[in-house]
C-alpha cells in the first residue's frame, strides 16, 4: 500500500470511529455492533503502529491508553478555578438572588445545573483540537492529565461545527453508578480494598499512571462552563447549548429560571428525582446567565459573586457517642472530636465526627453514651446535628470542655469574639511546632519536595528540627540515619530545601503562619509592602491602608513581629537566602502613570477585552477593584455599562471616564 493510500485509509477510519463514538455517547443511537467497532479500532491501531509518520495525538486510537508510567506536570490555569459559596436552604438561595439584583441593579435570568459529584477538569482547545487537560488542583495550578483524559470516550478530541479558535471548557469527570458497582465487584474478587464512593473512584482513576487502566474504568464527562475571549454569546446557557453541536456532553437537565420561585421549583423537583440519575449528584449550581452581568458582579477572593451552590439535605443516621477527644491544630485551636460507634453514612463507615468548639457541645447538651444524629456537612465531613434525649440515661455525665491543653498542659485561652479555645504555648507545644513546620513546607507555601508530616514528626522526635529555620541546617548525613530514610530520599529533601529558597516573597510570608495571613492576604501585603523589612516596620495605619487588611489582621501582624523569638526566626531564615523582597513586576512598556489610582471597569470596550484593560491598568501602576467605594478614583464606562455602578459612582461623585479618556491618562 502506498503512503498516500495509507494516509487516506487512516483518516477515513478516524472519521468513521469518531462518528460512531458520537452516535453512541451523544445520541445513544449506535449504528454498528461493539464487535464491528472493535474491528475498525484494531485496523486503525495496526496501521498507525506500522506507519508512525501518520500518528496524531488526537486520534481515536489514543482512547485505549497505554501502560507508560508518567509523573504529572503542574500547569497554571489561565483562568483560576475558584470554588463556589455553598447554601443549604431556600432562604439562602433567595438571599443570593436579592444580593445579585441589588449589586447589578437588574433582574437577570439564572441557570440551574445539577452539581455532579466527581472530579473537576479544565480542557483547552485550539483550532478544534484538544490541547491540554488539567485538574482543578489548588485553583491556580493543577496536574496535566491530558493522556488520561484522551481515553474518556465522551470527551471530543476534535470538534465539529463553528467553534472558537481557542477556548477553555470546564466540567466534571464522573464514574457512573453501574461502572462503580462493577468495579467494586471486581475488586472483591481480587481481594482489593473497595472504593468508598464514585467520586473517590473517579478522582483516583484520573490520577493513575497507566492511561490503559484509566481507559478500562469507563469514566464519563459532562461540561458546564466555557471561558475565552470573543465567545460572542452573552448567555451562559445559550453558549453551552451551542457547544453541544461542537461535540460536548453537557451537564444534563439544566434549566433557565427567571426568579427565586422558579429556582425553588427546580430545587424541589431534583431533590426528589436525583435518585433516578445514573451518576452521583450532591446539589444544584445556580448561575447568573448573562456573562455581562457576571463580569459586573465580579469575584470575592475565593468565589464568584454571580454563582452559588445549593446542597441537597444530607443523609442522616443515628449512633452512640462513646466519648470526646481533643485535637490541637497548628494555630493552637483546640477542636473536640466525637468518637462514635461505627455507622454507615454516605458510602463510608463513620467512626468520628467534628464538634467544632465548646459552644457546639454546650448547644447540643451532649452526655456520654448519648444516641446522636450524624450528617455529612456538605456531604463530606461528618458532624453531630442532634441528640435523642428521650433515650438518655439520667446517670450519664455531661461532656465538659477541657480547660488545659491536652498536649502540653497550658491553660487554654479564648479571645473576645472567637469561638475556639487556644493553646497559647506557641513555641513549646508539640502539635503547634509540628503544625507550623508542616504548613511551612506545604505545597501552597514553600513546597519542599520530599518532606511530609511523618518525616516532620520523626525529625521533631529526634530533636533535629524545632522550628522552620532548623530545616535549612539539615544535611544528608543526619537524614540517612533516620528510620526508613535512604540516600535518595535524603538527597531529595536536601534538594527540595535548596529549591525552596527560590519561592517568591508572598509565599514565604504565607508560609510563616502568621494568624489570619492566608494566601490572598499574603499576596496583597507583598504587592503593597514590598519586603519583610518594610512589613516588620509597618505601623497600624500603613497595614490597614492595604486593600482587604482590617483591624484584626493588622493587629495580628504587629503582634507577631513584636515577639523576640519571631524576629530571631526571620533573621535565621534571611541567612539561608529565602526571598524577603517582592519581585519587580515591571514589564516592557510599564510606567507609574497610574500609581496610587484605583479603577472600576464596567461594560464592553472597543480597544480592549475586559481582562486586557485590567492588565493595562496594572501595567501603568494602577489598581483594579471590583466595587465602587469612596476610595475609587475612576469608573471606566464602556458600552452596556451596569446601571447600579453608574448610579453609585454618581452618588459618590466618582469621575466616570470613557475608554478614550482612559487612553489619554496613559499617553
Write out pLDDT tens, residues 168-214. 999 999 999 999 888 888 887 777 777 777 888 898 899 887 888 88
Q: Which segments within 491-649 are labelled E, that is strand?
A: 598-602, 623-624, 634-637
Q: What pLDDT band is residue 621 in, cutting at 50, 70 and 90? A: confident
For residue 218, indicate whether it is catalytic: no
**Lowest mean pLDDT: which of 180-194, 363-377, 453-467, 545-559?**
180-194
Q: Nearest 5 degrees, angle CA 195-CA 199-CA 202?
A: 80
Residues 6+ apart with CB under 8 A from 517: 509, 510, 525, 553, 556, 557
Last residue of a domain, one of 271, 289, 311: 311
β-pair partners for 281? 116
For the stretch 513-523, pLDDT in tens is 998 898 888 98
Cα separation, 240 vs 219, whole angstroms: 21
For the stretch 80-124, pLDDT in tens is 888 888 888 889 999 999 999 988 888 999 999 999 989 999 999
Q: Is residue 76 part of a domain?
A: no
Both 7 and 22 in a single domain? yes
- Average pLDDT value for residue range 151-163: 91
Predicted local confidence at residue 560, as pLDDT? 94
| pLDDT over 90 percentage in the chain | 45
Predicted local confidence at residue 69, as pLDDT? 39
Rounded to the nearest 10 degrees, what angle do helices 430-441 and 453-461 cross at? 130
Q: Nearest 5 degrees, angle CA 526-CA 529-CA 530?
A: 70
- The yes-or-no verdict on residue 380 having pLDDT over 70 is no
Both 177 and 265 in a single domain? yes
- The yes-or-no verdict on residue 379 having pLDDT over 60 is no
Cα separation, 609 vs 228, whole angstroms: 10
Number of other CB atoms surrounding residue 71 within 10 Å: 8
Predicted local confidence at residue 26, as pLDDT? 54
Predicted local confidence at residue 520, as pLDDT? 82
Q: Is residue 347 part of a domain?
A: yes
Predicted local confidence at residue 660, as pLDDT? 92
Q: Is residue 587 part of a domain?
A: no
Q: pTM of this prediction?
A: 0.57
Q: Is residue 593 part of a domain?
A: no
β-pair partners for 280? none
Both 486 and 398 in a single domain? no
Q: Which residue has the higher pLDDT, 578 or 38?
A: 578
- The yes-or-no verdict on residue 446 having pLDDT over 80 is yes
* Residue recorded with cell 499576596: 523
| pLDDT over 70 percentage in the chain | 93
Both 105 and 151 in a single domain? yes
Q: Which residue has the higher pLDDT, 178 or 606?
A: 178
Element (H, E) at 520: helix 519-528
CATH code: domain of residue 171: 3.30.470.30
Residues 6+ apart with CB under 8 A from 243: 163, 169, 223, 226, 250
Both 372 and 392 in a single domain? yes
CATH code: domain of residue 643: 3.40.50.10190
CATH code: domain of residue 49: 1.10.287.610
- The yes-or-no verdict on residue 369 having pLDDT over 70 is yes
Predicted local confidence at residue 603, as pLDDT? 83
Q: How far is CA 548 from CA 29, 415, 530, 544, 652, in A?
A: 55, 22, 17, 8, 20
Q: Nearest 5 degrees, angle CA 153-CA 157-CA 160?
A: 110
Q: Is residue 582 part of a domain?
A: no
Q: What pLDDT band is residue 416 in, cutting at 50, 70 and 90? A: confident
**Domain of residue 43, residue span:** 3-64
Q: Is 294 helix (H, G, I), strand (E, B) or coil?
A: helix
Q: What pLDDT band is residue 347 in, cutting at 50, 70 and 90? A: low
Q: Which residue has the higher pLDDT, 450 or 589?
A: 450
Both 280 and 140 in a single domain? yes
Both 656 and 545 in a single domain? no
CATH code: domain of residue 525: 1.10.150.20
- Average pLDDT value for residue range 366-387: 81
Q: What pLDDT band is residue 5 in, cutting at 50, 70 and 90? A: confident
Q: Which of 119, 9, 29, 21 is nearest to 62 (CA)?
A: 21
Element (H, E) at 342: strand 333-345
CATH code: domain of residue 367: 2.40.50.140
- The yes-or-no verdict on residue 587 having pLDDT over 70 is no
Number of other CB atoms surrounding residue 68 within 10 Å: 10
- The yes-or-no verdict on residue 34 having pLDDT over 70 is no
Predicted local confidence at residue 66, as pLDDT? 45
- The yes-or-no verdict on residue 601 having pLDDT over 70 is yes
Cα separation, 149 vs 121, whole angstroms: 9
* Chain center to CA of 474: 33
For the stretch 42-82, pLDDT in tens is 777 777 777 777 777 777 776 654 444 346 788 888 888 88
Q: Is residue 171 part of a domain?
A: yes
Q: Nearest 5 degrees, angle CA 182-CA 186-CA 189?
A: 145
Cα separation, 256 vs 437, whole angstroms: 49
Q: Is residue 77 part of a domain?
A: no
Cα separation, 57 vs 131, whole angstroms: 9
Both 494 and 509 in a single domain? no
Q: Is the CB of residue 508 less than 8 Å from the CB of residue 446?
A: yes
**Lowest mean pLDDT: which of 134-148, 204-218, 256-270, 366-380?**
366-380
Q: What pLDDT band is residue 576 in, cutting at 50, 70 and 90? A: very high
Predicted local confidence at residue 29, as pLDDT? 66
Q: Which of 618, 611, 610 is nearest to 637 (CA)?
A: 610
- Average pLDDT value for residue range 440-463: 90
* Chain center to CA of 506: 19
- Average pLDDT value for residue range 496-512: 93
Q: Is 411 helix (H, G, I), strand (E, B) or coil?
A: strand
Number of folded domains in the chain? 6
pLDDT, the chain, mean? 86
User: For 12-47, b where at least 16 C-beta lie within 10 A, e where not — what string?
Assistant: ebbebbbebbbebbeeeeeeeeeeebeebbebbbeb
Which of 26, 102, 115, 351 is catalytic? The answer is 115
Q: Nearest 5 degrees, angle CA 611-CA 614-CA 619?
A: 125
Query: The dihedral of CA 607, 609, 615, 621: what is its sign?
Result: positive
Predicted local confidence at residue 30, as pLDDT? 66
Element (H, E) at 290: none
Both 147 and 196 in a single domain? yes
**Lowest mean pLDDT: which of 17-21, 411-415, 431-435?**
17-21
Both 111 and 225 in a single domain? yes
- The yes-or-no verdict on residue 239 having pLDDT over 90 is yes
Q: What pLDDT band is residue 340 in, cutting at 50, 70 and 90? A: very high
Both 145 and 244 in a single domain? yes
Predicted local confidence at residue 619, as pLDDT? 85
For residue 91, how many C-alpha atoms fall within 13 Å in the half-sphere facing its CB? 0
Cα separation, 70 vs 211, whole angstroms: 10
Q: Which segments within 255-328 are labelled E, that is strand?
A: 255-257, 281-288, 307-311, 316-328
Predicted local confidence at residue 65, as pLDDT? 46
Cα separation, 163 vs 123, whole angstroms: 14
Cα separation, 90 vs 284, whole angstroms: 12
Q: Is residue 588 part of a domain?
A: no
Element (H, E) at 113: strand 110-116
**Lowest mean pLDDT: which of 52-61, 445-454, 628-637?**
52-61
- Average pLDDT value for residue range 350-357: 86
Last residue of a domain, one of 13, 30, 64: 64
Among 60-64, 460-464, 583-587, 646-650, name the most confident range: 460-464
Predicted local confidence at residue 439, as pLDDT? 93
Both 222 and 330 in a single domain? no
Predicted local confidence at residue 67, as pLDDT? 41
Residues 6+ apart with CB under 8 A from 562: none
Last residue of a domain, one of 280, 311, 342: 311
The two most distant CA atoms of the chain are separated, in Å, by 91
Q: Nearest 5 degrees, angle CA 149-CA 139-CA 447?
A: 100
Amino acid at each position: 500500500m502506498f503512503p498516500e493510500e495509507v494516509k487516506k485509509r487512516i483518516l477515513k477510519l478516524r472519521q468513521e470511529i469518531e462518528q460512531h463514538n458520537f452516535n453512541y455517547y451523544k445520541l445513544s443511537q449506535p449504528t454498528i455492533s461493539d464487535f464491528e467497532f472493535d474491528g475498525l479500532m484494531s485496523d486503525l491501531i495496526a496501521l498507525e503502529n506500522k506507519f508512525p509518520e501518520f500518528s496524531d495525538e488526537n486520534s481515536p486510537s489514543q482512547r485505549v491508553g497505554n501502560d507508560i508510567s508518567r509523573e504529572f506536570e503542574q500547569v497554571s490555569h489561565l483562568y483560576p478555578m475558584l470554588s463556589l459559596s455553598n447554601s443549604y436552604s431556600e432562604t439562602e438561595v433567595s438571599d443570593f438572588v436579592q444580593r445579585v439584583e441589588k449589586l447589578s441593579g437588574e433582574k437577570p435570568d439564572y441557570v440551574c445545573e445539577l452539581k455532579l459529584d466527581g472530579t473537576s477538569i479544565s480542557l483547552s482547545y485550539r483550532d478544534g483540537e484538544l490541547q491540554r487537560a488539567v485538574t482543578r488542583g489548588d485553583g491556580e495550578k493543577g496536574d496535566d492529565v491530558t493522556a488520561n483524559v484522551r481515553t474518556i470516550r465522551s470527551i471530543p478530541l476534535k470538534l465539529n461545527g463553528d467553534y472558537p479558535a481557542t477556548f477553555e471548557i470546564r466540567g466534571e469527570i464522573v464514574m457512573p453508578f453501574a461502572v462503580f458497582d462493577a468495579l467494586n465487584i471486581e475488586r472483591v474478587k481480587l481481594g482489593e480494598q473497595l472504593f468508598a464512593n464514585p467520586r473517590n473512584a473517579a478522582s483516583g482513576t484520573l490520577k493513575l499512571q497507566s492511561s490503559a487502566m484509566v481507559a478500562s474504568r469507563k469514566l464519563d464527562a459532562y461540561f458546564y462552563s466555557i471561558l475565552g475571549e470573543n465567545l460572542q454569546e452573552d448567555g451562559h446557557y445559550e453558549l453551552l447549548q451551542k457547544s453541544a453541536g461542537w461535540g460536548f456532553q453537557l451537564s444534563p437537565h439544566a434549566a433557565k429560571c427567571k426568579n427565586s420561585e422558579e429556582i425553588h421549583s427546580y430545587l424541589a423537583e431534583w431533590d426528589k428525582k436525583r435518585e433516578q440519575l445514573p451518576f452521583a449528584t450532591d446539589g444544584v449550581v445556580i448561575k447568573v446567565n448573562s456573562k455581562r452581568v457576571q463580569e459586573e458582579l465580579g469575584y470575592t477572593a475565593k468565589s464568584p459573586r454571580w454563582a452559588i451552590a445549593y446542597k441537597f439535605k444530607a443523609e442522616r443516621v443515628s449512633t452512640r457517642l462513646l466519648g470526646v477527644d481533643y485535637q490541637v491544630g497548628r494555630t493552637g485551636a483546640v477542636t473536640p472530636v466525637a468518637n462514635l460507634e461505627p455507622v454507615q453514612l454516605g458510602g463510608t463507615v463513620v467512626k468520628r465526627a467534628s464538634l467544632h468548639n465548646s459552644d457546639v457541645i454546650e448547644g447540643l447538651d451532649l452526655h456520654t453514651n448519648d444516641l446522636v444524629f450524624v450528617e455529612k456537612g456538605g456531604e463530606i465531613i461528618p458532624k453531630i446535628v442532634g441528640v435523642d434525649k428521650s433515650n438518655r440515661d439520667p446517670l450519664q455525665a455531661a461532656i465538659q470542655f477541657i480547660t488545659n491543653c491536652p498536649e502540653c498542659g497550658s491553660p487554654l485561652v479564648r479571645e473576645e469574639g472567637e469561638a475556639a479555645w487556644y493553646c497559647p504555648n506557641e513555641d513549646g507545644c508539640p502539635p503547634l511546632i509540628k503544625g507550623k513546620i508542616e504548613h511551612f513546607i506545604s505545597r501552597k507555601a514553600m513546597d519542599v519536595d520530599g518532606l511530609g508530616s511523618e518525616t516532620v514528626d520523626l525529625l521533631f522526635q529526634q530533636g533535629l528540627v524545632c522550628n522552620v529555620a532548623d530545616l535549612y541546617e539539615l544535611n544528608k548525613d543526619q537524614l540517612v540515619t533516620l528510620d526508613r530514610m535512604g540516600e535518595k530520599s535524603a538527597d531529595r529533601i536536601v534538594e527540595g530545601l535548596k529549591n525552596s529558597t527560590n519561592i517568591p516573597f508572598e509565599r514565604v510570608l504565607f508560609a510563616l503562619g502568621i494568624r489570619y495571613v492566608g494566601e490572598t492576604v499574603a499576596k496583597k501585603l507583598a504587592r503593597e509592602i514590598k519586603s519583610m523589612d518594610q512589613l516588620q516596620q509597618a505601623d497600624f495605619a500603613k497595614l490597614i491602608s492595604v486593600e482587604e487588611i482590617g483591624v484584626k489582621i493588622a493587629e495580628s501582624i504587629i503582634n507577631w513581629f513584636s515577639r523576640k523569638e519571631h524576629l530571631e526566626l526571620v533573621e535565621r531564615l534571611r541567612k539561608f537566602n529565602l526571598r524577603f523582597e517582592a519581585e519587580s513586576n515591571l514589564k516592557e512598556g510599564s510606567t507609574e502613570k497610574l500609581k496610587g489610582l484605583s479603577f472600576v471597569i464596567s461594560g464592553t470596550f472597543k480597544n480592549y477585552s475586559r481582562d486586557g484593560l485590567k492588565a493595562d491598568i496594572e501595567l501603568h501602576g494602577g489598581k483594579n477593584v471590583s466595587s465602587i467605594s469612596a476610595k475609587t478614583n475612576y469608573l471606566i464606562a464602556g458600552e452596556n455599562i451596569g446601571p447600579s455602578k453608574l448610579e453609585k459612582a454618581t452618588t459618590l461623585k466618582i469621575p466616570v471616564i470613557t475608554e478614550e479618556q482612559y487612553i489619554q491618562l496613559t499617553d
